[in-house]
Structure 1
Amino acid sequence: MKTIDGGVTAAKGFKASSCQAEIKYKDRTDMAFVYSELPCVCAGTFTSNVVKAACVMWDKKIVESGGPMQAVVINSGIANACTGKEGFDACEATARAAEGALGIPYTSVAVASTGVIGMQLPVDKLVAGVEKMSTTLDGSLLAGTEASKAIMTTDTVNKEIAVSFEIAGKTVTLGGMSKGSGMIHPNMCTMLAFLTTDIAIDKTLLQEAVSDVVKDTFNMITVDGDTSTNDTLLCMANGLAENEKITEKNEDYITFKNALMFVCEYLAKKMAADGEGASKLFEAKVIGAKDKQDARVLSRAIVGSNLSKAAIYGCDANFGRFLCAMGYSGADFDQNDVELYFESAAGRLKVFDKGTPIVFDEDKALEIMKEDTVTVFVNMNEGEAMATAWGCDLTYDYVKINADYRS
């Protein structure tokens, strides 16, 4: 497997476009269109929040129907959540606009929205945007990059990646884009993420791979402890790589799943690092846990604690905050087994050893914690399981951004 240039248009047969529809923003592109020349098998994971956006319910219906997906239309600025029947009607109007413009069934058109909850979408602008973008769909890498920019809200950078790998002599490509900066504490996958691949694969196996991979990628990031109403990950596979269709969990399936893991982890970490107001990527690695669930719970508790996040921002090697978060995580362990270290590009420093604090070099600790990526490394010494979670520091700017999000 190798990383290549591009995102959602890197795989064969995929095109993208974007436009400024002025859904809410007046100074940027705010709609994106991703289209496959052929109908795709699809997979998806969605928010566990009981309050689900209209677009989430629309996309779940497509994924669970077993039918094909051929396009996805995304808008930023307004989330289309808590919008009643009018919100669902906006989804259908968007899909039918794509049907009219491209001659594809509206039931194969997914929709996604991100932005302010509780506002109605301007349907006339949505439809006009779809009609405009349908005439500019393009398979270039630039078109994919511009699409990744159009779905941003408070993100400071766009997020995209593509990889290629070999399956039975055929070159397969997998690309993706995502957005997410705040309201990030997924219990399914993430905010918005879209994956495109030309692999030929059975729909059931595609869904199994996606559902499994998100557990250790998108499900392991947190910015602020808030699970969005709009969390959506969609994966479309059109089969144009012409590999022998994957219908069982063989070596080809494992190869694809490894590529999927790489792409999803990359996008997840990009989102964690770009958390609202963040200045650092905050990583927690837990090894030696009793089981995988404990490892996941412990690592997510560390990066999810506001006190831990504040300590990372302040470069304060206050290891007690991280141990405290582990203690209320719900995982059962003996603190007298735990070892805790701080790590970064500047080095590694042990600060807690099996129930006993260690006298450590505060200057070295400060040097380690000043880096752009800081890791809290924990050895539970109770088993073989491990997990990694990603988050960011908590800065003054987080409050500033969210104090006037609607304006």
Structure 2
Amino acid sequence: MDRTSPTSITRPIGFRAAGSTCGIKPSGKPDLALIVSDTPCTAAGVFTTNKVKGAPVLVSQKHVRNGKARAIVCNSGTSNVATGEQGLRDAEAMCQTTAAALGLRYPSEVLVASTGVIGHRLPMDKVLPGIEQLAPTLAQGKKADNAAADAILTTDLVRKTALRTVTLGGKTITLGGICKGSGMIAPNMATMLAFITTDVAIDSKPLKLALRAATSETFNRLSVDSDKSTSDSVMVLANGQAKNRAITGPGRVFDRFVETLTDLCRDLSEQLIWDGEGVTRIMRVRVSGAASVKDADRVGRSVVDSPLVKTALHGADPNWGRIAMAAGKSDAKLKKDTLSIRIAGMSIYEHGQPTKLGLKPPAKLAKAMAAKEVQIEVDLGLGKASAEWLGCDLTREYIHINADYTT
């Protein structure tokens, strides 16, 4: 699996991209992106389960239902959420204008995404001309990749890109991805925004299964602040230009593709957590010994979402009792007498009892808590299921960013 190239979404054969400024953001920063395949694609998407879904989510869910698409258009700065019927018409208009600018036959060949402030309508007098002006600039290469990756950012500090290649049936398959997200991240079947291109030949049903499998182990085990966005979307376009024998269902080749897609998504999700709003430290929480994967997930999410665990992490405070509390408050099957906790490999709580290290945490434990990445292990002692979650500290800077977000 190759992961060394600096390019991303236009590296797979037959894809082009572009990004520009159309005037949505008062800052004048880039705010409009296009990703396009030169040939028809199979497509799949996973989206937020928040009941207040943005208009672009609803439109893209409808368009991707038949498993086909050619392009993705995305704006940043305004999310087009809670904007009523007019918001739906605006999202559809973005698809219609994109299809016309690209010479596509149907607007349904376009998927749409928006990110930014909730409750504001898009300035369509800027967005639609922006799409028309952006389409002729579509290109391949690092410059185009970076332009698109920059145009989807909001409070992010850095662009986020990833690339993987894998050999399937004697053919080299390439996958490229970009994503955005810094706050309001607690995904459930998606992340903030992630767009993936690949030249693999694969039918729509296995592509959908592959994306759900990859997402469940990566983006869905990531939390910055426990808030599930109204705009979360992960979309993948696969145009078959690698000319491999088409993947039509489960099997060794399908499993290898899922492994590669998951690796790419894990790379992107780790970039998301490191660029979380105000983040200074992250925690990697490994839950083992669970009766089921669902229970392991419940405990992992409870630990990384806990404000008390997050603030202890920020203060480098080895207050392991907060970890036990967070595990215990989850809905998972859990017994105090079988619960064990380790921090940075040091046993502090074993089978319901504090160890010598737990009773009087030594300086080396405090030092471990002050690391940029802190390893936390929670063993439930009830089974063989496991899960790994990524979380981060809760800082004064996070509060500052979000207290002033719209003002």
Q: TM-score, normalized by length of structure 1?
A: 0.97
Q: Does structure 2 retain, via aligned residues, the 8 Å contact 1:273–1:391? A: no
1:350 is matched with: 347
Distance 2:336 2:114 in 1: 44
- Does residue 180 in structure 1 map to residue 177 in structure 2? no
1:235 is matched with: 236
For structure 1, which runs of at least 5 residues remain unmatched after alignment?
A: none
Q: Does structure 2 retain, via aligned residues, the 8 Å contact 1:19–1:132? A: no
Matched residue of 2:327: which SS?
A: helix
Distance 1:122 1:31 in 2: 12
Distance 2:260 2:26 in 1: 35
Greater shift after overlay, 373-382 or 44-53? 373-382
Matched residue of 1:135: which SS?
A: helix
Distance 1:383 1:324 in 2: 20
Distance 2:366 2:11 in 1: 42
1:10 shift after superposition: 1.6
Letter matched to residue 33 of structure 2: A
Letter matched to residue 395 of structure 1: T
Greater shift after overlay, 220-229 or 237-246? 220-229
* Deviation string, structure 1 residues 248-288 (Cα, Å, up to 9, x no partner): 21111011000011011111121122211111122110112
Matched residue of 1:110: which SS?
A: strand
Distance 1:34 1:21 in 2: 16
Distance 1:4 1:35 in 2: 23
1:307 is matched with: 308
Matched residue of 1:285: which SS?
A: strand
1:146 shift after superposition: 2.0
2:88 is matched with: 88
1:68 shift after superposition: 2.0
1:403 is matched with: 403
Q: 1:80-159 to 2 correspondence within 5 Å?
A: 80-104=80-104, 105-159=106-160
1:160 shift after superposition: 0.8
1:257 is matched with: 258
Matched residue of 1:32: which SS?
A: strand
Distance 1:127 1:78 in 2: 14
Letter matched to residue 248 of structure 2: T
2:372 is matched with: 372
Identity of aligned residues (%): 39
- Does residue 385 in structure 1 map to residue 363 in structure 2? no
* Residue correspondences, number: 402
1:296 is matched with: 297
Structure 1 ranges of 4+ moved more than 3 A: none
1:161 shift after superposition: 0.2
* Deviation string, structure 1 residues 290-316 (Cα, Å, up to 9, x no partner): 111111111111111011000100000
1:15 shift after superposition: 0.7
Distance 2:304 2:321 in 1: 14
Distance 1:338 1:7 in 2: 43
Distance 2:277 2:287 in 1: 25
Distance 1:163 1:67 in 2: 23
Distance 1:362 1:178 in 2: 40
- Relative to structure 1, the CA distance from residue 358 to residue 247 in structure 2 (aligned partners, 3 Å threshold; closer, same or farther) is same
* Deviation string, structure 1 residues 215-260 (Cα, Å, up to 9, x no partner): 1111111111111110111011000000000112111101100001
Distance 2:199 2:294 in 1: 33
Q: Does structure 1 retain, via aligned residues, the 8 Å contact 2:177–2:194? A: yes
- Does residue 219 in structure 1 map to residue 220 in structure 2? yes
Q: Does structure 2 retain, via aligned residues, the 8 Å contact 1:4–1:164? A: no
Letter matched to residue 176 of structure 1: G
1:9 is matched with: 10
Q: Does structure 2 retain, via aligned residues, the 8 Å contact 1:53–1:79? A: yes
Distance 1:276 1:311 in 2: 17
Distance 2:22 2:347 in 1: 53
Distance 2:83 2:166 in 1: 42
Distance 2:55 2:205 in 1: 25
Distance 1:274 1:19 in 2: 22
Distance 2:157 2:336 in 1: 39
Greater shift after overlay, 229-238 or 24-33? 24-33
1:67 shift after superposition: 5.0
- Does residue 394 in structure 1 map to residue 405 in structure 2? no
Distance 2:47 2:378 in 1: 30
Q: Does structure 2 retain, via aligned residues, the 8 Å contact 1:46–1:189? A: yes
Q: RMSD of the TM alignment (CA)?
A: 1.1
2:278 is matched with: 277
1:378 shift after superposition: 1.5
1:102 shift after superposition: 1.3
